[in-house]
Amino acid sequence: MQDSKASPHDSGDIPSEEIRKNASLITGIFTEYLDNIENYPVLPKLNRGDLKAALAEHPPEEGEPLADILKDFEKLILPAATHWNHPNFHGLFATSGSAVGAIADFLSSMLDMKGMLWRTAPASVELEELTLDWLSELLGLEERFKGLIYDTASISTMHALAAARERLGFGIRQSGMAGRSGLPLLRTYASDQVHSSIDKSCITLGLGLDSLKKIPSDEKFVMRADLLNQAIEEDLRSGIQPMAVVATIGTTSTTSVDPVNDIAQICERHKLWLHVDAAYAGPAAMLEEKRHFFSGWERADSIVVNPHKWLMTPFDLSVLYLRRIEALSQAFSLVPEYLKTPDMPQTANPMDYGIQLGRRFRSLKLWFVMRYFGKKGLVSRLRRHCRLAEYFAEEIAKEGDFELMAPVNFALVVFRAKSKDVVNPDEFNLRLLEEINSSGEAFISHTVLGGKVALRLSVGSLHTRKEHIDKIIRVIKDKTGQMLKAT
């Protein structure tokens, strides 16, 4: 049936002619934004609800021209964004997302492949295998580690712990956990500095928050391996089943590094799954001078590294490496009739390794990033971030009014104002944080260490140079000075 009167806009997708007409508007938005990102306040100056109030309340009855939508993107959406690529975005873990990765993401959306099977997405399946082999080579991981791409570290870790749970041999995949007698509490151990995604994995997997034992860390926020060993032995005596240990290389609050070799030895002795959370710091394994932090990670059963945090790859892309990738398929492989292909069961497919069926073509952006920057380019950018963080730490520590709260292992500095004129340092530092962030000039975040409020400055944007670090030092000093004067 042909509808001769229907325009492409009525019946199909946007006509190529309209795309071509708007090409310079699209690339203009992209390049102007990145070239002038410094002109935006890092955190947008708006209140909750402002954006929604400025947008149409109901969907349009008739389709609208692309040019109009793009104009609204520039006028309304951009000013409501938090600018993660801004050179003075120093909160949480700063992102290193690149334009070249964004271009690849756009092409990946163009293809819109759902990578559950080799047949549905051969390019995605094969490029994922290749890029993860490239990445493990760059990270100096042994060849036996095979990787998979998920969206986030939270999901990567959840899959690793699901594989650990299945390896115990209780047949949980088949019989579940509820209503079973004779199933002991299945224990996961991690330091008291561990990321909350581990707690969430315990919730999701039905293990329960009570199953997660937080092992105290020392004065450098590093897990006490002796206390880990003690906790495992106590559990064994009381009938609890140890399941897995999560060691972190680069904790969220301070980037401290757990003693992976000592922990691996304990895991090997008790046959426990060792998961290494290197979500943030993982890419630094490429740097010779940081290599010592990674000693022992090759003894892990699984390792998570997030290129979307610190490897120039736009969100989202998290990599889970496994020493025995079959452990994952044993937990998750399940092939409904309509997904059977003639090459099964000889060929494993991405859907065998997790809860998702369809998967985005994420490896494309990692491949673009690794090709565009090359090993040298990646290494020099990571090194620059570390040097800038060290520079900030040196400069801020020179000031009598500030103290460093943790060693600077990678590109994060944890510090706080401590002037003798400050009566309540916790309250003062929280106020200082708000003063800095509401200025729009920079964004930093905070944590609590040993009961004390501390400020975190992370360097990770590709746009950050020394002048931006000088700027944040100036902002911090000025705000502190003003606040002290007012007390």
Return the bridge partners of 242, or none.
Answer: 187
Binding-site member from 248, 429, 458, 480 for ligand PLP (CB under 6 A): 248
Tell whether residue 313 is a contact of ligand PLP (CB under 6 A): no
Residues belonging to the chain: 487
φ/ψ of residue 401, rounded to 5: -85, 0
Give the interface size with ligand PLP as a residue count (CB under 6 A).
15
User: What is the nearest approach in angstroms of ligand PLP to the Cβ of residue 458?
Assistant: 10
Please state, as a whole number, how many other Cβ atoms lie within 10 Å of the Cβ of residue 400. Answer: 9
Binding-site member from 280, 297, 410, 443 for ligand PLP (CB under 6 A): 280
User: What is the nearest approach in angstroms of ligand PLP to the Cβ of residue 196?
Assistant: 8
447 contacts 253 by C-beta, under 8 angstroms: yes
121 or 257: CB nearest ligand PLP: 257
Tell whether residue 154 is a contact of ligand PLP (CB under 6 A): yes
- Helix orientation angle between 466-486 and 425-439, rounded to the nearest 10 degrees: 130
**Would you give the end-to-end CA distance of the chain in angstroms?**
79
Tell whether residue 306 is a contact of ligand PLP (CB under 6 A): yes
User: What is the nearest approach in angstroms of ligand PLP to the Cβ of residue 200?
Assistant: 9
Max Cα-Cα span within the chain: 82
Return the bridge partners of 89, or none.
Answer: 443
Q: Which helix (H) or strand (E) holds 430?
A: helix 425-439
Concatenating the DSSP letter of every residue in 201-267 gives HHHHTTS-GGGEEEEPB-TTS-B-HHHHHHHHHHHHHTT-EEEEEEEEBS-TTT--B--HHHHHHHH
Tell whether residue 88 is a contact of ligand PLP (CB under 6 A): no
Q: How many CA atoms lie within 13 A of 45 on its CB side?
A: 8
User: What is the nearest approach in angstroms of ligand PLP to the Cβ of residue 478?
Assistant: 29
- Give the tokens for residue 375: 């090993």
φ/ψ of residue 241, rounded to 5: -95, 105
Please state, as a whole number, how many other Cβ atoms lie within 10 Å of the Cβ of residue 34. Answer: 14
- Give the tokens for residue 459: 């360097």
String of contacts with ligand PLP for each residue 344-383, x by CB under 6 A: ----------------------------------------
Tell whether residue 166 is a contact of ligand PLP (CB under 6 A): no
7 contacts 56 by C-beta, under 8 angstroms: no
User: What is the nearest approach in angstroms of ligand PLP to the Cβ of residue 316?
Assistant: 7
Interface region with ligand PLP, contact rule CB under 6 A, candidates 18-26, 146-154, 163-171, 356-364: 146-154
43 or 279: CB nearest ligand PLP: 279
Which residue from 28, 39, 38 is spatially nearest to 74, judged by alpha carbons? Answer: 28
Interface region with ligand PLP, contact rule CB under 6 A, candidates 213-221, 230-238, 275-283, 379-387: 275-283
Tell whether residue 93 is a contact of ligand PLP (CB under 6 A): yes
Tell whether residue 152 is a contact of ligand PLP (CB under 6 A): yes
Binding-site member from 37, 141, 153, 328 for ligand PLP (CB under 6 A): 153
Region 186-245 residues binding ligand PLP, contact defined as CB under 6 A: 195, 197
Interacting residues with ligand PLP (CB under 6 A): 93, 152-154, 195, 197, 248, 250-252, 277, 279-280, 306, 318
